[in-house]
Amino acid sequence: MPSSFFRASPSRAKRLELVSLEEPLRESFEEDVLRGLTAAQKRLPCHWFYDEAGSQLFERICELPEYYLTRCERSILEQRAGEIACLFEDPTTLVELGSGSASKTRLLIEAFLERHGRLVFAPIDISRTMLEESASELLDDYPRLEIRAFAGRYESGLARLAAGRVSPKLTLWLGSSVGNLDRRQAAVFLRKLRAGMSAADRLLIGVDLRKDRLTLEAAYDDAEGVTARFDLNLLARINRELGADFDLEAFAHRATWRPDSGRVESRLVSLREQTVRIEALDLEVGFAAREAIHTENSYKYSHHEIEWLARAAGMLRERHWLDADGLYSLNLFAPA
């Protein structure tokens, strides 16, 4: 059969480019566990949540009634994707930081394809497997979509895009991921992102808003206990990968809203005095009763603080949209 028979839309292979930017750092899990559990105030960095089990638990968190963030963000995109696509010229490149399974992104991809008939999607994600899976599904579903994916750290992917002088581009940073950084770190990161933006480029950033304690603490400690298992998976992961003997029944998950700093703090609290052995580190860690490991901060913003963040990064909040209950915000930042 002549190959021209298939030329109705460009072949899948021609529409996909996947670049691996660097090897993921392997040794730093051990280093982070060693440093974090020998510190005076015990802590573990939250990015280690996301192994296979943790990523699955996170997907379940996103479906929980208490975890309004995902639902609200999706509802804003359902209502506004068309309007957002109309703000950009053809051909626009849609960049996404930490796209994961890219399910909410489909709403924007569809809106851009409807408006312009074509689109380049450039997801940047640390997980190459995740990128391969979601790219293959997107290419099947959208014959006019081209994908230039980057497997690596955000900074490396953004540097590649900046070097390629791709413009106009809309960069997506969804899911309130900015909330894991403190406010200064957030401004520093966005300033780097700003450095690779031209006048026509925009950032669409999902930011969770400050609200009452009850709503916030329930969102981070749901009735079914999924978030507790997500937090405890960090200890399970240390057991699995570093040969530790954490008793998961002897720790409890706690979420506390701190209005002064404007963040929800997640902790694993030791329910009794105990000693844990971590084989791979040849380390014994002592816990007093009620002693905690700080595992995550989830920063919340007022509208004022979002405007501050944009300015601190050399940008302006040009537009913003809220869900019907005003719990969550999507913000369009433009270079100042």
Q: Which residues bind ligand AVJ (CB under 6 A)?
A: 61, 69, 175-177, 179-180, 220, 227, 296, 298
Which is nearer to ligand AVJ, 202 or 267 (by Cβ)? 267
153/185 Cα distance (integer angstroms): 16
Of 171 and 298, which has the nearer Cβ to ligand AVJ? 298
Cα gap 104→124, rounded to integer Å: 15
Is residue 202 a contact partner of residue 333, using CB atoms and an 8 Å limit? yes
Minimum distance between the CB of residue 46 and ligand AVJ, rounded to whole angstroms?
7
Give whichever of 229 and 320 is closer to ligand AVJ, judged by the CB atom. 229
Q: Specify the residue, 92 or 227, whose C-beta has the smaller distance to ligand AVJ.
A: 227
- Whether residue 154 contacts residue 162, with contact meaning beta carbons closer than 8 Å, is answered with no
Shortest distance in whole angstroms from residue 248 CB to ligand AVJ: 17
- Least separation in angstroms between residue 203's CB and ligand AVJ is 17
Counting beta carbons within 10 angstroms of the beta carbon of residue 165, is it exposed (0 to 12), middle (13 to 18) or buried (19 or more)?
Answer: exposed
* Residue 260: count of CB within 10 angstroms of its CB: 5
Shortest spacing between CB 98 and ligand AVJ, in angstroms: 9
3-state secondary structure 245-262: CCCHHHEEEEEEEECCCC
CA 323, CA 72: separation in Å to the nearest integer? 6
Q: Is 148 helix (H, G, I), strand (E, B) or coil?
A: strand
Smallest gap from Cβ 20 to ligand AVJ, in A, equals 24
- Cβ proximity to ligand AVJ, 123 vs 179, nearer residue: 179
Report the nearest approach of ligand AVJ to the CB of residue 187 (Å): 18
- Beta carbon of residue 177, minimum distance to ligand AVJ (angstroms, whole number): 5
Tokens of 280: 């791979």
Which residue is nearest to ligand AVJ, using beta carbons?
Answer: 298
Residue nearer to ligand AVJ on the CB measure, 166 or 205: 205
User: What's phi and psi for 205, nearest 5 deg?
Assistant: -120, 130
Helix (H) or strand (E) holding 91: none
Cβ closest to ligand AVJ, residue 177 vs residue 256:
177
CA distance 211 to 208: 9
The CA distances from residue 128 to 19, 21, 50, in Å, are: 9, 10, 14
Q: Which three-class secondary structure state does DSSP give residue 136? A: helix
